[in-house]
């Protein structure tokens, strides 16, 4: 879920109002574009921060004003997209189940991915070719999983009740959900972003919802009656 280096669009359009903000945004985008281009051409491990900065016509010191690491330059929209995702989760609608809320939030992110398909597919090729970027992406994915777990727990915890059991259930559901989302996104990326991502996501969540409903209907472990 961490993929994507293009600018945010649609409902999350950047509110850039001053000349200084626009200049900073252009510099940040130039650094991200340079990191992606050079990594695609030569491999991520072969590219240095100095080369990325030079390609963006800025200094090494300027690079670190925008990104803490070289890996972060390949995922410049991560924090903004995660914030949007959390906002979607927090805006639960009346009568909406927790699963429906999570599905709607992922659908909003999926629409961004579709709009920026070519760039995201190109970026994922770079990520897949680098063990360092694969590991970094997995680290970023914890933010998405934590957001889903928080949403499940907030919606299922009883008022005044202990959060231990609700928290564990939320983490398990979040892990299962993220696993399904990753598999769906991988299917879409491996096909060059050509399939209908929205349809794939709806099918995935229908399967998840069915599994959850089955689990809730299943009886607990049968108790064996001891001999008298």
Q: Where are the chain's structural domains?
A: 10-73, 77-216
Q: What is the pLDDT of residue 4?
A: 53
pLDDT of residue 3: 59
Mean pLDDT of the chain: 86
pLDDT given at position 122 = 93
Q: In CATH, which superfamily holds the domain spanning 77-216? A: Tetracycline Repressor, domain 2 (1.10.357.10)
**pLDDT band at 5, cuts 50/70/90?**
very low
Average pLDDT (28-56) is: 97
- For residue 168, is pLDDT > 50? yes
Radius of gyration for the alpha carbons in the chain, expressed in angstroms and rounded = 21
What integer pLDDT is reported at residue 214 of this predicted model? 43
For the cut 70, the answer to whether the pLDDT of residue 10 exceeds it is: no
Mean pLDDT value of segment 92-100: 88
Task: Say what the pLDDT of residue 223 is.
Answer: 43
With beta carbons less than 8 A apart as the criterion, state whether 170 and 200 touch.
Answer: no
Work out whether the CA dihedral 64, 65, 66, 72 comes out positive or negative: positive
pLDDT in the model for residue 94: 86
Sequence-distant (≥ 6) Cβ neighbours of residue 129 within 8 angstroms: 43, 44
Least confident of 24-28, 119-123, 156-160, 204-208: 156-160
Mean pLDDT of 10-23: 66
**In the predicted model, is pLDDT for residue 203 greater than 90?**
yes
pLDDT band, very low/low/confident/very high, at 161 (cuts 50, 70, 90): low
- Positive/negative CA dihedral, 210, 170, 177, 109: positive
Q: Cβ(208)–Cβ(177) under 8 Å?
A: yes
**C-alpha distances in Å from residue 113, one per residue of 19, 170, 208:** 28, 26, 21
pLDDT score of 119 more than 60: yes
Instruction: Express as a percent the part of the chain with pLDDT over 70.
Output: 82
Handedness of CA 171, 172, 174, 178 (dihedral sign): positive
Burial class (CB in 10 A: 0-12, 13-18, 19+), 44: buried
C-alpha span between 23 and 60 (Å, rounded): 17
pTM score, whole prediction: 0.80
Question: From residue 56, how far is each of 40, 51, 69 by CA, in Å?
Answer: 16, 9, 16
Q: Which of the 8 DSSP states describes residue 195?
A: S
pLDDT at 117 over 80: yes
The CATH H-level superfamily of 10-73 is Homeodomain-like (1.10.10.60)
> To which residue do tokens 């961490």 refer?
2
pLDDT band of residue 165 (cuts 50, 70, 90) is confident
Which residue carries 């929205």 as its tokens? Answer: 198
Percent of the chain with pLDDT over 90: 70
**Encoded tokens for 133:** 């970027």
pLDDT band for position 163 (cuts 50, 70, 90): low
């Amino acid at each position: 879920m961490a993929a994507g280096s293009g600018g945010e669009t649609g409902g999350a359009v950047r509110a850039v109002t001053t000349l200084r903000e626009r200049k900073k945004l252009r510099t940040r985008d130039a650094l991200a574009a340079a990191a992606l281009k050079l990594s695609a051409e030569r491999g991520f491990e072969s590219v240095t921060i100095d080369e990325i900065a030079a390609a963006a016509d800025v200094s090494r010191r300027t690079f670190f004003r925008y990104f803490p690491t070289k890996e972060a330059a390949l995922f410049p929209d991560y924090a903004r997209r995660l914030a949007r995702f959390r906002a979607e989760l927090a805006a639960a609608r009346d009568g909406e189940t927790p699963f429906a809320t999570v599905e709607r939030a992922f659908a909003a992110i999926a629409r961004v991915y579709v709009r920026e398909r070519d760039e995201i597919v190109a970026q994922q090729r770079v990520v897949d070719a680098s063990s360092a970027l694969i590991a970094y992406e997995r680290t970023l994915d914890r933010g998405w999983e934590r957001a889903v777990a928080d949403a499940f727990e907030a919606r299922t915890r009883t008022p005044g009740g202990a959060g231990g059991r609700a928290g564990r259930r939320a983490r398990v559901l979040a892990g299962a959900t993220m696993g399904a989302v990753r598999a769906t996104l991988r299917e879409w990326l491996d096909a060059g972003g050509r399939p209908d991502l929205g349809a794939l996501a709806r099918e995935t969540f229908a399967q998840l919802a069915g599994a959850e409903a089955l689990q809730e209907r299943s009886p607990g472990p049968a108790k064996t009656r001891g001999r008298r």
